[in-house]
Amino acid sequence: MIRGEHSFIRGTEQDDVEALFGLYAPGVLRAGLLDARREPLLVTRDDLRDLLTRKEIADGSFYTVESKTGAIVGFCSIRGLNTDARFAEYGIQFTDTDCYGADLAREVHDFLLDRAFKRLGLRKVIAHALTEETAMVEFLRGKGFMSAGVQREILFSQGTWHHLETLVLNNPSFNASQAVS
Amino acid sequence: MPFTTTTYIRRAERDDLDTVVAWMESADFQHFLYGDPARSPKLVREKIVAMLGRAVGHTMPGGIYLLIDSPALGPVGLLSLQNISWRNRSCSIDLYIGKTEHRSGIIAAGAVYQTLEYCFHELNLHRVSAFIYSFNTASWRILEKTGAKRELILQDHVARDGNLFDLYGYGLLRSEFDAFRAEYHHTASGFSLEAMIETLGRAGTEPDG
């Protein structure tokens, strides 16, 4: 467990299913929870229990974020590692968007970058956000993420089309000579 | 003068297995699309058999594999519609022309046009995406000519031969394709699904499915 000044970060456990299930509540669109076809998933708690037994999760690429009071306030991950081009997907999901403006979010971000850039030696991380996820986009831009573009009308939900922005953060200390493993 | 072609697209079937396996195992396919030369040939073959066996007629498949065929040339290339979302009415397309001499020519352009017509006017899709490596100039130029927008540029995203290349993400909405089709209808009429079906009818061949 990583004990921060404002948070605890630890590998996600089976016991976290209820909090994870809460992220999938209808009516809240989250790019990080869409499938490969960019469709929202209608998950059950059983689905999530199965998900948490998968190797990448058991091996520790998916983490639970707790506040200092021990309440689960979100999840984060570095996943989809591409070993050839040395990048991965960066994901943060908070149960309350107010968390993006809190010190806790900075600690989670620092933790993910430590994993991605120092431990894994990645060149960059990539995040996705629906254009409605304004708190997350603002947070990511504040941390130096740059937009790589917006895929238009990629998701239909709540009677309208939604756009998906892809944001990239390069590893500032990455040596160009390490470009390809 | 309108362009015409006798090339047509059809569903890939078991008889195409050897052709498709040969393409997918070629260094060229792995360079421009995906794959790994270290993969087991047996597993590659099994994967293709599974993909060819996917039902399409009365179900809602997540992927459709089409052969670009020609009476004169035989099978020319492979087209796949991946990640079909019936909710978002979208898919992504991959195109591989096995016969290199036809890669940037009218056959590739015609196949893309027929595929887009199939996506928008038969499957009733709203959006088609394509992810193309920056060095695959012939492919992204063809797509741009249909009105597709380069929405995404992921720099240094693909490793090939010890170098990193950019990945372009394209998106084409039905309204954009229809605008292109209306503007170039006279020129492209020989490429259309309607023209393809007519040609096949004249040759005494019925399109599959």
ipTM: 0.89
Site from B129, B131, B154 to mutate, A interface, most A CB atoms within 10 angstroms: B154
- The shortest C-alpha distance from A6 to chain B (Å) reads 34
pLDDT, tens digit (0-9, with 9 covering 90-100), for A56-112: 666 668 899 999 999 999 999 999 999 999 999 999 999 999 999 999 999 999 999
Is the pLDDT confidence value at A44 over 60?
Answer: yes
**Cβ atoms of residues B159 and A85 within 8 Å:** yes
Contacts of A168 in chain B (CB under 8 A): 154-155
Main-chain phi, psi angles of A13, to 5 degrees: -115, 165
Residue B131: CB atoms within 10 A of its CB come to 18
Is B90's CB within 8 Å of A123's CB?
no
What pLDDT is attached to residue A181? 47
Q: Is the pLDDT of residue A176 over 70?
A: no
Report chain B residues touching chain A, CB-CB < 8 A: 62, 83-85, 87-90, 126-127, 129, 149-159, 162-164, 169, 171, 173
For residue A83, give the chain B residue with the closest CA: B159
B-chain residues within 8 Å CB-CB of A169? Answer: none
One digit per residue, the tens of pLDDT, for chain B of length 209 reads: 555 667 788 878 778 888 888 888 888 888 888 877 777 777 878 877 777 765 555 456 778 888 888 888 888 888 889 999 999 999 999 988 887 777 767 888 888 998 999 999 999 999 999 999 999 998 899 999 999 999 999 999 999 988 999 999 999 999 999 999 888 877 666 666 666 666 666 665 544 43
Query: Which of A85, A153, A156 shows the shortest C-beta gap to B157?
Result: A85
* Model pLDDT, residue B2: 55
As a three-state string, the secondary structure of chain B is CCCECCCEEEECCHHHHHHHHHHHHCHHHHHHCCCCCCCCHHHHHHHHHHHHCCCCCCCCCCCEEEEEECCCCCCCEEEEEEEEECCCCEEEEEEEECCHHHCCCHHHHHHHHHHHHHHHHHCCCCEEEEEEECCCHHHHHHHHHCCCEEEEEEEEEEEECCEEEEEEEEEEEHHHHHHHHHHHHHHHCECCHHHHHHHHHHCCCCCCC
The Cα-based distances of B165 to A122, A133, A145, B133 in angstroms read 16, 30, 20, 7
Mutate one of B36, B64, B157, B170 to test the A interface: name it (highest A CB count within 10 A): B157
Residues in chain B closer than 8 A to A181 (CB atoms): 159
Interchain contact, A37 vs B84, CB within 8 Å: yes
Q: What is the pLDDT of residue A58?
A: 62
Taking CB atoms and an 8 Å cutoff, what residues of chain B touch A124?
156
Instruction: Report which of residues B100 and A121 the model is more confident about.
Output: A121
Largest CA distance in chain B: 50
A156 vs B109, more confident? A156
pLDDT of residue A60: 66
What is the percent of chain A with per-residue pLDDT over 70, rounded to a whole number?
A: 92
* pLDDT for the residue numbered B98: 84
Question: Which one of A85, A150, A155 has the shortest CB-CB distance to B151?
Answer: A150
- The more confident residue out of A114 and A52 is A114
Q: Do B127 and A154 touch (CB under 8 A)?
A: yes
**φ/ψ bin of A153: left (φ > 0), alpha (ψ from -120 to 50), beta (otherwise):** left
pLDDT of residue B57: 53
Please name the amino acid found at residue A116. Answer: A
pLDDT, residue B21, reads: 85
Structure tokens belonging to residue A121 = 């030696």
Residues of B in contact with A85 (CB under 8 A): 156-159, 164
B83: chain A residues, CB-CB within 8 Å: 36-38
| Average pLDDT value over all residues in chain A | 90
**Rounded to whole angstroms, how far apart are CA atoms A147 and A167?**
4
| Residue in chain A lying closest to B91 (CA) | A37
Report whether pLDDT(A50) > 70.
yes
